[in-house]
């Protein structure tokens, strides 16, 4: 019952005003000029929240070009941001992914931005997240929607999909499978809040010692610590080192991490079969890709693909803080590669094993000739 006093909570008026002004500036900067509605949804059936109004949703209409009118039956797209994020995280890439005129919902998860606070250590994260998505859809009277989530939001949409096996819409989850967003049935531990802000400093201090850390030992540390969200930064640094120097190490690291999401209440790719995603293409993106040789790519494809019956694994490099056009172009190229290995009648998806900003997303293509993903 982490929000027993939520009914009396209100955001600081000055802070809220400045927050909205910043949102408006970002909307204008990225060409999303019209917020149709800002809704504060009352999700009354959620006991952890005491039935209070807490979910903030921005309903955005993307500008419509005269030559591209929206279709009346277009399915809306709903985006869920990551931990510590806001709905505006999606704005840099939104116009490059979504058809002009299509309705977009940017959902602010509890505990972020202007939504009601939530201590995630007090709830069972998977069940809470699945219920949260269900109630948002019910409150908006939406029966069919495409769901896209980044990081924690990526886990949120997968948890929802697993709870609804008859779901007929597309789901895109952008999250590292070895993190809590790749798990079901766990709480976010308190140590995450304590340790995570210091990981950049700690990682920078330990990086010079990586050459002396055996891959299997690092794997043991990750198995113990990943669920505390406390070694993500170390993992990326170590991953970069392995990619530069040792193919065997990187394979060991990936195979150490990947099964973490396949044990206990974790989800497997086969859990997403009801979403009609028949050909999954894994894309390893981020800051490390220039160090991956073609031979390493083949080995990674063989190891991961053999275990999970994945036919194709795509590799693409999207640098951090890249221009939105770079993201869009790279994603379109990767999708073309995926389509080249699939039958035209199959639905396809690009699923990542990376963890970065929502500006780099992968999802099911709905309108192949449009140049957009949605």
Q: Taking each helix axis from N to C terminus, what angle separates 215-225 and 247-257, rounded to the nearest 10 degrees?
A: 20
% of the chain exceeding 90 in pLDDT: 0
Two tokens, residue 239 = 């991953």
Residue 29 or residue 87, greater confidence: 87
Domain range summary for the chain, segments of one domain joined by +: 26-186+265-352, 192-260
Confidence of residue 326 (pLDDT cuts 50, 70, 90): low
What pLDDT score was predicted for residue 153? Answer: 79
Question: How confident is residue 1, by pLDDT bands cut at 50, 70 and 90?
Answer: very low
Give mean pLDDT, residues 322-350: 47
| Residue 96 C-beta-side C-alpha neighbours within 13 Å | 20
Calpha distance 42→119 (Å, rounded): 18
Lowest pLDDT segment from 26-30, 71-75, 77-81, 336-340: 336-340
Residue 315 CA to residue 240 CA, distance in Å, equals 15
Q: What pLDDT, in 10s, does the model give residues 187-203?
A: 455 555 555 555 545 55
Q: What integer is the mean pLDDT of 340-364?
A: 38
The per-residue pLDDT for 337 is: 53
Higher-confidence position of 309 and 272: 309
Q: Which residue has the higher pLDDT, 269 or 13?
A: 13
- What span, in angstroms and rounded, lies between the C-alpha atoms of 203 and 374? 38
Angstrom distance (rounded) from CA 189 to CA 183: 13
- pLDDT of 50: 55
Which of the 8 DSSP states describes residue 53?
E
pLDDT (tens digit per residue) in 105-125:
889 887 777 777 777 767 777
Work out the average pLDDT over 71-94.
73
Q: Which pLDDT does position 74 carry in this prediction?
A: 72
pLDDT of residue 323: 47
Instruction: Output the pLDDT for position 14.
Output: 73
CB 138 within 8 A of CB 112: no
29 compared with 224, residue with greater pLDDT: 29
SS3 245: helix
User: What is the distance between the alpha carbons of residues 162 and 150, in angstroms, rounded to a whole number?
Assistant: 17
Query: Which residues are CB-contacts of 39 (< 8 A; sequence separation ≥ 6)?
Result: 55, 56, 57, 59, 139, 140
pLDDT at 125: 77
Residue 5 has pLDDT above 60, yes or no: no
- What mean pLDDT is predicted for residues 304-323? 44
Task: Identify which of 92-106, 117-131, 330-344 has the greatest average pLDDT.
Answer: 117-131
Query: Which of these CATH numbers, 3.20.20.100, 3.40.50.300, 3.40.190.10, 3.40.50.12270, describes 26-186+265-352?
Result: 3.40.50.12270
Structure tokens at 165: 């096996």
Residue whose tokens read 């802000």: 197
Classify 72 as helix, strand or coil. Answer: coil
- Structure confidence by residue, pLDDT tens digits, 215-240: 555 545 544 444 444 344 444 444 44
Residue 93 has pLDDT above 60, yes or no: yes
Average pLDDT estimate for 118-139: 81
pLDDT on residue 211 = 58
Which carries the bigger pLDDT value, residue 62 or residue 164? 164
Q: What is the pLDDT of residue 30?
A: 67
> What is the β-pairing status of strands 53-61 and 103-108?
antiparallel
How many Å apart are CA 182 and CA 157, to the nearest integer? 11
Tell me the pLDDT tens digit for each residue of 45-75.
555 555 555 678 888 766 655 444 555 567 7
d(CA 18, CA 136): 26
Predicted local distance difference test score (pLDDT) of residue 275: 32
pLDDT of residue 60: 78
């Amino acid at each position: 019952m982490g929000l027993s006093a939520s009914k009396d909570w209100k955001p600081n008026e000055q802070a809220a005003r400045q927050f909205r002004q910043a949102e408006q500036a970002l909307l204008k900067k990225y060409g999303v000029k019209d917020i149709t509605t800002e809704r504060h949804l009352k999700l009354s059936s959620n006991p952890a929240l005491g039935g209070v109004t807490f979910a903030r949703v921005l309903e955005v209409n993307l500008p419509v070009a005269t030559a591209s009118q929206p279709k009346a039956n277009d399915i809306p797209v709903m985006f869920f941001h990551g931990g510590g994020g806001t709905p505006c995280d999606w704005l840099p890439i939104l116009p490059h992914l979504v058809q002009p005129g299509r309705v977009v919902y940017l959902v602010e998860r509890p505990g972020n931005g202007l939504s009601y606070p939530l201590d995630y250590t007090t709830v069972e994260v998977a069940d809470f997240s699945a219920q949260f998505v269900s109630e948002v859809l019910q409150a908006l009277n939406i029966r069919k929607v495409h769901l896209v989530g980044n990081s924690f939001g990526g886990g949120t949409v997968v948890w929802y999909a697993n709870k609804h096996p008859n779901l007929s819409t597309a789901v895109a989850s952008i999250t590292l499978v070895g993190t809590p967003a790749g798990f079901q049935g766990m709480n976010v531990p308190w140590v995450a809040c304590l340790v995570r802000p210091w990981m950049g400093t700690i990682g920078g201090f330990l990086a010079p010692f990586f050459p002396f850390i055996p891959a299997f030992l690092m794997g043991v540390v990750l198995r113990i610590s990943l669920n505390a969200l406390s070694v993500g930064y170390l993992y990326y640094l170590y991953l970069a080192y392995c990619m530069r120097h040792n193919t065997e190490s990187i394979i060991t690291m990936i195979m150490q991490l990947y099964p973490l999401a396949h044990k206990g209440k974790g989800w497997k790719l086969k859990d997403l079969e009801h979403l009609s995603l028949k050909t999954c293409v894994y894309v390893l993106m981020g800051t490390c890709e220039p160090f991956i040789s073609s031979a390493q790519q083949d080995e990674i494809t063989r190891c991961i693909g053999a275990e999970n019956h994945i036919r194709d694994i795509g590799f693409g490099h999207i640098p951090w803080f890249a221009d939105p056009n770079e993201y869009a172009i790279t994603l379109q190229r990767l999708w073309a590669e995926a389509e080249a290995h699939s039958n035209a009648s199959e639905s396809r998806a690009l699923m990542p094993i990376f963890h970065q900003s929502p500006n780099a997303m992968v999802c099911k293509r709905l309108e192949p000739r449009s140049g957009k993903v949605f």
